[in-house]
């Protein structure tokens, strides 16, 4: 995937509506956001226009209405933002980011077990076939 254009927090809110259900008209999007944002319809329409220009959304014209749909998945968008954050804050060092997160957040035993399992799986994936992960025991 080519480098995705970054989207703002407000644009993210619009995308979340469309990731849950699409295609939707601008008025349907305004309605779904009205309870949580209080944005004017013109604000939502401006955000839709920006997202179309950024190629994050597409639309189909049906009569006098535009029906908007996401052109990127939520997972792609999350991945892009995570990569950008790690590059910007940790100079690309994923291990440093993980260590900082673990040191600065309370983790439940279940979360610790999940992280251990993920690391074990990652370790298995990076080992060449037939390689031992631990040094042999001394006798």
Task: Give the H or E element holding residue 57.
Answer: strand 57-62
Q: Render pLDDT for 1-52 as a digit per residue (tens, 0 to 9).
A: 345 678 999 999 999 999 999 999 999 999 999 989 989 999 999 999 999 9
Alpha-carbon distance 123 to 127, whole Å? 6
**H helices of 54-138, where?**
74-90, 94-104, 109-126
CATH class belonging to 9-70: mainly alpha
Residue 59 has phi, psi (to 5 degrees) of: -150, 155
DSSP letter (8 states) at residue 61: E
Domain locations along the chain: 9-70, 74-126
Predicted local distance difference test score (pLDDT) of residue 5: 73
* CA 134 to each of CA 114, 118, 138: distance values in angstroms, whole numbers, following the listed order: 21, 17, 12
């Amino acid at each position: 995937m080519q480098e995705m254009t970054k989207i703002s927090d407000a644009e993210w809110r619009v995308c979340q509506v469309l990731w849950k259900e699409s295609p939707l008209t601008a008025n349907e999007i305004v309605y779904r956001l009205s309870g949580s944002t209080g944005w004017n319809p013109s604000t939502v329409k401006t955000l839709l226009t920006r997202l179309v220009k950024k190629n994050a959304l597409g639309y189909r014209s049906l009569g006098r209405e535009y029906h908007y749909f996401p052109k990127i998945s939520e997972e792609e968008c999350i991945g892009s933002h995570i990569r950008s954050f790690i590059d910007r804050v940790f100079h690309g060092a994923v291990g440093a980011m993980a260590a900082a997160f673990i040191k600065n957040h309370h983790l439940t035993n279940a979360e610790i077990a999940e992280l251990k399992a993920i690391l074990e799986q990652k370790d298995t994936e990076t080992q060449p076939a037939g390689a031992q992960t631990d040094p042999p025991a001394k006798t």
